């Protein structure tokens, strides 16, 4: 399969690889996909308590080059965004930016799911703190 230069760039120089402290109240973690399906993404966001902006985002991905590129791109886009803006990121935006072929669209869907999962984990945590 021929990849676009953007996919290759993200694959060769993935942005924001790593892990944030998943026990921290300001960190939301999303883990989506399954090893049996050939792709698993872990995406984390750290929210600034004062500005409510995403101040950091990290990922680790098991999957093909397009899956790695989709999650790498997602972390790049997330930084500095509000929660609402983050939730507005659509898989089609990723498809367009990386020029993913139809057979790789599921990679972008997974990245969108990972964003939503990370944010919802953060929101769940902050709600628990408020009610506690």
Q: Check residue 11 for interaction with another protein (CB under 8 A).
A: yes
Q: Are 45 and 28 in contact (CB under 8 A)?
A: yes
> For residue 119, what is the DSSP state?
H
Cα–Cα distance list, 103 to 3, 90, 91 (Å): 12, 17, 14
| CA separation for the pair 36, 102 (Å, rounded) | 21
Q: Which two tokens mark 79?
A: 């930084």
Q: Which is nearer to another protein, 1 or 129 (CB)?
A: 1
| Subset of residues 18 to 77 that bind another protein, contact rule: CB under 8 A | 19, 31-42, 60-65, 67-68
Task: Confirm whether 64 is a catalytic residue.
Answer: no
| CA separation for the pair 92, 97 (Å, rounded) | 9
Catalytic residue among 107, 111, 117, 118: 107
Name which position in 110, 111, 115, 118 contacts another protein (CB under 8 A): 110
| CA separation for the pair 73, 76 (Å, rounded) | 5
CB atoms within 10 A of CB 48: 12
Q: Check residue 118 for interaction with another protein (CB under 8 A).
A: no
Task: Confirm whether 37 is a catalytic residue.
Answer: yes
Q: Check residue 103 for interaction with another protein (CB under 8 A).
A: yes
CB of 77 to another protein, least distance (A): 19
Residues acting as catalytic residues:
37, 107
Which positions lie near another protein, rule CB under 8 A?
Answer: 1, 3, 8, 11, 14, 17, 19, 31-42, 60-65, 67-68, 103, 106, 109-110, 113
């Amino acid at each position: 399969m021929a990849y676009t230069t953007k996919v290759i760039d993200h694959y060769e120089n993935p942005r924001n690889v790593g892990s944030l402290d998943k026990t921290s109240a300001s960190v939301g973690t999303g883990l989506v996909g399954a090893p049996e399906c050939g792709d698993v993404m872990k995406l984390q966001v750290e929210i600034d308590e004062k500005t409510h902006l995403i101040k950091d985002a990290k990922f680790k991905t098991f999957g093909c080059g397009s899956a790695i590129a989709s999650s790498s791109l997602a972390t790049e886009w997330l930084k500095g965004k509000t929660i609402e803006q983050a939730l507005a990121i659509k898989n089609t935006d990723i498809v367009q930016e990386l020029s993913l072929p139809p057979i790789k669209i599921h990679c972008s869907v997974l990245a969108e799911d990972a964003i939503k999962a990370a944010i919802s984990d953060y929101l769940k945590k902050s709600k628990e703190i408020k009610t506690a």
